[in-house]
Chains A and B, each alone.
Chain A
Amino acid sequence: MSQNKIGSVLIVGAGIAGIQAALDLAESGYLVHLVEESSAIGGTMPMLDKTFPTNDCSMCILSPKLVECGRHLNIRTYTNSQVVKSEGEAGNFKVTIKQKARYIDLEKCTGCGACAEACPVKVDDEFNQGLGKRKAAFKQYSQAFPNAYGIDEKNCLYQTRGKAKGKDICLKCVKACQAGAIDHQMEDKEFEVEVGSMILNPGFKVFDASSLDYYGYGTIKSVITSLEFERLLSASGPFDGHLVRPFDQKEPQKIAWIQCVGSRNAKINHNYCSGVCCMYAIKEAVIAKEHSHIPVDTTIFYMDMRTPGKDFEKYYNNAKNNQGVNFIRSRVYEVTEAKDDSGDAVIRYSTEDGQICTDQFDLVVLSVGLEPGDSSKDLANMLDLKVNKYGFAELQPLSGVNTSKDGVFAAGAFSGPRDIPETVMQASAAAGAASALLSDERGTLVSEKEYPPELDVAGDVIRTGVFICHCGVNIGSVVNVPSVVEYAKTLPTVAYATDKIYACSQDAQASIKALISEQKLNRIVVSSCSPRTHEPLFQETLKEAGLNAHLFDMANIRDQCSWVHMHEPEKATEKAKDLTKLAIVRASMQQPVQPIFMAMNHAALVIGGGVAGMTSALSLADQGYEVHLVEKDKVLGGVARRFSTGFRGEDMKAFVADLIDQVSNHPNIKLHVGVGIKDVGGFLGSFTTTLENGEQIAHGVALLTIGGQEYKPHEYLYGQDQRIMTQIEMDEALYNHDSKVENAKNFVFIQCVGSRCDENPYCSRTCCTKSVKLALKVKKKNPKANIFVLYRDMRTYGYFEEDYEEARRIGIIFVRYSENAKPVVNKEGDTLVVTVTDHVLDRPLEIEADVICLAAAIKAPEDGRKLSKWFKIPLNADGFFLEAHMKLRPVDFSTDGVFMAGIAHSPKNMEEVITQAKAAAGRAGVALSKDQVESAGLNAFVNKRKCTACGTCEAVCSAKAVTVDLVNRVAVVNDALCKGCGACASSCRCGAISLRGCTNEQIVEMLNFL
């Protein structure tokens, strides 16, 4: 490792993993170089319609992150770029980046789209999976960052036909662009950056279904891929969310999904489960039903339904039982075109009992698997990283994120298929790992902007400056901009009004700045495009001119006026006047808002000393923070102490011992072992936790890693015979060479004991793999052993599919049972007899067992409720911790400053626990890196005179930011926690609590001017 470390990190790939890692690192004090191959950040998520299991709109949850990432002062984003060379070692790498010419100057492009309108070339739109068209001058998708167009040199008329010959062919874009942003002579460039660490998340590509001709993809028009189907569903897709067949616009009434296309297929070297397809197929089937106004029949053809993630089983059951999605366990032989000219497709398949059936569908969706992207392979090659036989990066065992090269971390599908929350977790974990590596250099390369001192405008006569933008021709060609300017001049408080060709251009900003001082303007209104994209830009200008950024408002007369009323210029002008007027009213009543700073205690409290807690503690300690690790048990290690080997054969005993050793000897970690917690108080930045021994710990953040508990079976004669044991007990028995297992010949594993049942409706995720691993261990030691695994769905997701395949190959027998015909265990004399109904033979099978291993469920921790009350955090229906957002905030609680990891969040395997523990430490590190807790200040505030302490505000606040002080009988807002949603203000009957920037006074006055 280099002694000369650099406080900057290279992130390759700007999908959700890259964005999350970039934000985490930039927010913790590192300079980030974010390299993206395509012309915009976002990756796969923008293409998805909804996300499981919450059915959240993918774009809605992503776009705030795009904006945040795009605007971050310490994230340098390079689009159209690739890493071409790297040298150096952990702590100090020199990386060469090649950036392809975009032919449009990012500095000048305003994203108005005039070039695309003018461009005559139409090509298939990759973003829409080729289902729609785009121009050669294009932006990947509307919300893309950078909010700028680019020119596709492979299709542009000038680039392909004119440039080389020196002929001015086409160039319509150049004429259309009033900002002068187009530069067809732009050249590719190469440059070098120095970084201390790298995080690689180049993503995946979907399996090319046309390579398996029996599915008919590419030959039968009604066979499409699941990603194409996402675009069909998407409201911003090629058919505006109307569910139609792409080739004949017919609304499909009968749709099928075929699972495992390109997954679980050893013949094509794809002997792994892609892990996400079962869930996305269910989601697509459910959403298809919701989307369509005619009844849609949906059927999913599958081998095993693999829904082992958090709340996935519930989602599956809901689809099956309430939404009417059909599930057919089957093998699909082939898909052929219907003979009746309908354009339909016919699926020929065999059911479990061997029957061969055919069925005709309007649309067949292939649930294509995930495989390494082309650039992933190049990247791994270039950096000389170890990859597995499928081409995915191979990570170091039980590290969660470490590639084979020091200082280089991986996130997302680079190291194997994973879903969004797992990807986000890994990204935060990688960020945490990079931060730990470079902690000495934190803050050395980041910059902070300096502003002139703020003018005091209190008491001054309000002088509003109004700027109306033409946006080239985007606004001006519809709205009569000069008349809006004249109108604005007549309105109260307006001291100055003018128009701008592009209000967002550099020179317009300079002019606004100058006018603020010349005209003594103390409120600014810009009527132009969307405040969602441009408000920060103008606010920046206000700050540079010494005005408080909040003495400002925008009217959106482009996106919400000229663009949508193109044929009604007069009415559009009237509307533009009204919108401008409303903005003036609001701005004139705006008061300066100051950010609020509160003290940050830089210590962390980790509750629970299992593998998750110890991993989190170590990561935070390595990041340089003081950590208090509390374990109520007398020893550290948690349930992992009872495990012999990990899922990739790791020696767990040694691993846990080593972890205990590390946390015990780390100078930044203080252990509190054998003591529980008595009370918790406080909030982000200043928590105080009291231990049972009376000791008080002050800390800024808390990580809850309290694990779970093994279900104690009351079924299958458990507890009545020593030969009936749980998986953990069996593992121990094997490890201790217990004669019960050593001498046994017949082994029966029963799956789903206490999982996927009424009592615990969720899947415990790890038990299928665990049973397969135990069975393999037995079988390899004693090839003569007869081993039966009785299961419902074999959920060996990811690479564990290989074990399942091996197990079948070496003679372990898998017998499926159904939920309503569970196996029965009887004791006849001293003989244990297991009876199960075999689905294939359709008759009862009796097995005399020497050992019965029960896959007992993983249950939520006992102490969850206590912590829930103390930290004001929610639990889900199953008693596990409920994260702030199931997709994008998988380790954060909705209460700021509190994080989670491990089994307490949901059942998962050791590798996943470690990833999540590092992710929680990464996220906690972001919070701890701040000198102070800062809040933008657009918070709720209380008029004490009016407040009656009724507690309504407290009840409706999801951020737990409002509490009622019963002594002084007044509600108190905690500025550190308030998110500024205003639910309190709208719920307050007394008008006592309001929201800065959106007060009742402002809204009512706007309504008065309506």
Chain B
Amino acid sequence: MGEIQVETENKKYDPKIAAFLCNWCSYAGADLAGVGRIQYPPTIRTIRVPCSGRINPLYILKAMANGADGVLVSGCHPGDCHYISGNYVARRKFALIKSLLTYVGLEEDRVNFSWVSAAEGGRFAEVVKGVSERVGALGPNKGVFKVDDGGATDE
């Protein structure tokens, strides 16, 4: 379904980015960007979760395996969690999955994490803009989670 549009001049893609947003801060921040009519690229497909603590690292792997060009994960700033410590618990998972994915050679810019508060509408737009640009510059997801060279196993 990932429709890819090629801009002739700078060869940038309109990537499709799976965005996991926590309900209480980042989703509210995204709403606020809307209220302020702050424009950002139409690249993200939002999945609302109660808390960034709900985000299973496997979701991120799965999103990449399913061909998303990128992933954006955003929760409340540390200390602001509606559930007291969900984002603290999540933070270790995020740090590790990001590190692991970079280690195995996934382009650094594909999987992105940020903290966006309910008051940071402008910042939310900036984050999406930045992520979209960088993921767009990478082109479609063809990295380690996709087999584009028929590269099945030896068997």
Interface set of A (CB-CB < 8 Å, partner B) = 49, 54-61, 63-64, 113, 142-143, 234-236, 240-241, 530-533, 556, 558-561, 563-568, 571-572, 574-575, 578-579, 582, 884-885, 894, 938, 956, 958-959, 979-983, 985-987, 995, 998, 1000, 1003-1004, 1006-1010
Contacts and interface: CB of A to CB of B under 8 A. Distances in A.
The 9 closest A-B pairs by CB, nearest first: A559-B34, A982-B54, A983-B53, A981-B83, A563-B34, A240-B122, A986-B56, A57-B117, A60-B118
Nearest to A894: B84
8 contacts: A57-B119, A64-B24, A235-B117, A560-B33, A956-B89, A983-B51, A986-B53, A998-B50
Given A565-B40, A579-B45, A981-B53, 14 more contacts: A57-B120, A58-B119, A236-B36, A240-B121, A240-B122, A556-B30, A565-B42, A575-B45, A981-B86, A982-B86, A983-B85, A998-B50, A1003-B47, A1010-B1
A491 B68 CA distance: 20
Contacts of A959: 83-84
B89 A49 contact: no
Interface stretch (B59-67, B106-114, B145-153): B59-67
Contact of A1004 (B33, B62, B67): B62
Given A565-B39, A1007-B66, A558 B34 contact: yes
Contact of B117 (A60, A578, A995): A60
A236 B32 contact: yes
Interface of B: 1-3, 14, 16, 18, 23-25, 27-28, 30-42, 45-51, 53-59, 62-63, 66-68, 76-77, 79-80, 82-86, 89-90, 93, 117-123, 125
B17 to A, nearest CB: 10
Nearest to B37: A563
Contacts of B24: 60, 64
Among B31, B56, B63, B77, chain A packs the most CB atoms within 10 A around the CB of B31
A1010 B18 contact: yes
B111 to A, nearest CB: 14
A57 B50 contact: no
B115 to A, nearest CB: 10
A626 to B, nearest CB: 31
A113 B66 CA distance: 38
B37 A556 contact: no
A560 B46 CA distance: 9
Contacts of A998: 49-50, 54
Given A59-B119, A241-B122, A564-B39, A532 B83 contact: no
Nearest to A1002: B47
Nearest to A995: B54
A567 B33 CA distance: 15
A1003 B49 CA distance: 9
A193 to B, nearest CB: 33
Contact of B89 (A558, A559, A582, A983): A983
A874 to B, nearest CB: 10
A307 B67 CA distance: 53
A987 B92 CA distance: 11
Given A55-B79, A235-B117, A1006-B47, A556 B31 contact: yes
Nearest to B48: A531
A588 B56 CA distance: 21
Contact of B56 (A885, A894, A1000): A1000
B125 A241 contact: no
A703 to B, nearest CB: 21
A795 B44 CA distance: 52
B33 A564 contact: yes
A464 B136 CA distance: 35
A1003 to B, nearest CB: 6
A56 B23 CA distance: 16
A675 B58 CA distance: 52
Contacts of A572: 42
A55 B76 CA distance: 12
A995 B56 CA distance: 12
A235 B38 contact: no
Contact of A60 (B25, B89, B123): B25
Contacts of B14: 571
Contact of B80 (A61, A241, A532): A61
A1008 B66 contact: yes
Contact of B31 (A530, A894, A980): A530
Contacts of B18: 1007, 1010
A897 to B, nearest CB: 16
Contact of A57 (B57, B118, B122): B118
Contacts of B53: 956, 981-983, 986
B39 A567 contact: yes
B54 A60 contact: no
Given A60-B25, A241-B122, A1003-B47, A559 B39 contact: no
Contacts of A980: 50
Contacts of A1006: 47
A49 B80 CA distance: 13
A582 B19 CA distance: 12
Contacts of B2: 1010
Contact of A559 (B31, B41, B42, B48): B31
B23 A532 contact: yes
Contact of A56 (B1, B62, B79): B79
Contact of A1007 (B32, B59, B83, B123): B59
B19 to A, nearest CB: 9
A982 B50 contact: yes
B80 A57 contact: yes
A760 to B, nearest CB: 24
A985 B25 contact: no
B93 A1010 contact: no
B28 to A, nearest CB: 6
Contacts of A113: 35
Contacts of A1003: 47, 49, 56, 59
A983 B47 contact: no
A979 B38 CA distance: 33
Contacts of A64: 24, 82
Contact of B121 (A63, A235, A983): A235
A241 B123 contact: yes
B48 A575 contact: no
Nearest to A578: B45
A240 B80 CA distance: 20
A199 B99 CA distance: 54
B119 A563 contact: no
A17 B59 CA distance: 41
Contacts of B16: 1010
Given A236-B32, A987-B89, A1000-B56, A143 B37 contact: no
Contacts of A143: 28, 32, 118
A560 B30 contact: yes
B131 to A, nearest CB: 14
B35 A983 contact: no
Nearest to A997: B50
Contact of A142 (B35, B83, B123): B35
Nearest to B61: A1007
Given A55-B79, A241-B123, A532 B42 contact: no
A64 B25 CA distance: 10
Nearest to B3: A574
A533 B118 CA distance: 13
Nearest to B40: A564
Contact of B63 (A56, A558, A578, A1007): A1007
Nearest to A531: B48
Contacts of A240: 36, 121-122
A559 B33 CA distance: 7
